[in-house]
Amino acid sequence: MILIGERINAGFKDIANAIKTKDPTAVEKWAVAQTEAGATYLDVNIGAASRDPADMAWLVEATQKAVPTPISVDSTKIEAIEAGLEALDGRQCLVNSTTADPGKLEKVIPLAVKHNAMLLGLAMDDRGSPQNVERRVENGAMVFMAAMEAGIPPERIILDPILMPIKFMQEQVPNVLEAIEQFTHLSDPPPHISVGLSNIGNKVAERGRVIRTFLVMAMAKGLDAAICDVCDEETIAAVATAELMLNKEIYSDSYIRAFRIKAGGVA
């Protein structure tokens, strides 16, 4: 499972503040905590806190000074992605993200190729978020084909079917599950499939349960990556348990420990 730690995001006050004051303390704290929890990638996102690509470069630098963990450069703005990638010290990275919008594909994919990055593609287009299975699969396939044509192999592509809050768009959850399964048929080996996991629990009272139940259902359909709260022990335990159910890991009584050791977190 590719676990992308969501916490270095200016949507959180401490990170927004760090960007504003250029004090890296909070960034370092979350870089270390998420790495110790077993994050495969650390998502780095300046969100709406800044329009300045230089702030993305600063946030990437602050993160990579703290830990050796691979970085997911996350922005809807191409200039910010580029600035983030340029600031990297050569470590593994993920471009997060492109959409199926042709104008975006033709700019973002070359950046991923240039920096030898994994590419995360959202199954949305210039018409906005998809409201059914077909649109998700159509958009996902469009990103997938464009990336393949640029020479990015399936195992370096991550597709995101766009997960929405269950409280507001309940009817979309089955559509996301179905799209995940259809993504797995795109190629052999299939691309990776990720969601922004916390979205589903937005403003939900039983947030933890909603998130974890969706997570294991989606893993059964083929989800093998997630942008999520990697510091939540119950989420990690759910991933470890689901991987056992899928026979991806050898059972042992201490399998959650084994999962953490494998994820490279605190041994």
Partner 1 sequence: MTVEIPDVKKNWPHTINAVTIGATSAEGGTRTSTVTIGGETTLPFYHFEGTMPNKPVVAMEVWDIPAEDWPDTVREPFADVLADPGAWAKACVETFGAELICLRLKGCDPNGADRSPDEAAAAAKQVAEAVGVPLIVWGCGNDDKDNEVFPVVAEALSGENCLLGTITEDNYKTLTALGTAYGHKLIAESPVDINMAKQVNILALDVGFPSENIVIYPSTGALGYGLEYVYSIMERLRIAGLKGDKVVAMPMLCDIGIEVWSIKEAKAPEDEVPGWGDVKARGPMWEASTATAYLLAGADVLIMRHPEAVRITKETISRLMGGGA
Interface with partner 1 (CB under 8 A): 249-254, 257-258, 261-262, 267
CA atoms within 13 A on the CB side of 251: 7
Report, in Å, the least distance between residue 70 CB and partner 1.
14
148 vs 204, beta carbon nearer partner 1: 148
Report, in Å, the least distance between residue 6 CB and partner 1.
23
117 vs 263, beta carbon nearer partner 1: 263
48 vs 246, beta carbon nearer partner 1: 246
Report, in Å, the least distance between residue 267 CB and partner 1.
7
What CA dihedral angle connects 180, 181, 187 and 188, to 10 degrees? 120
What is the rounded distance in angstroms from the CA atom of residue 150 to the CA atom of residue 113?
8
Report, in Å, the least distance between residue 250 CB and partner 1.
5
103 vs 189, beta carbon nearer partner 1: 189
Helix and strand counts by DSSP (H, E) for the chain: 10, 8
DSSP state letters, 42-56: EEEE-TTT---HHHH
Instruction: Name the DSSP class of 121.
Output: E
Burial track 164-200 (b if 16+ CB lie within 10 A, e otherwise) = bbbeebeebbebbbbbbbbbbebeeebbbbbbbbbbb
151 vs 253, beta carbon nearer partner 1: 253
Report, in Å, the least distance between residue 144 CB and partner 1.
22
What is the rounded distance in angstroms from the CA atom of residue 235 to the CA atom of residue 9?
19
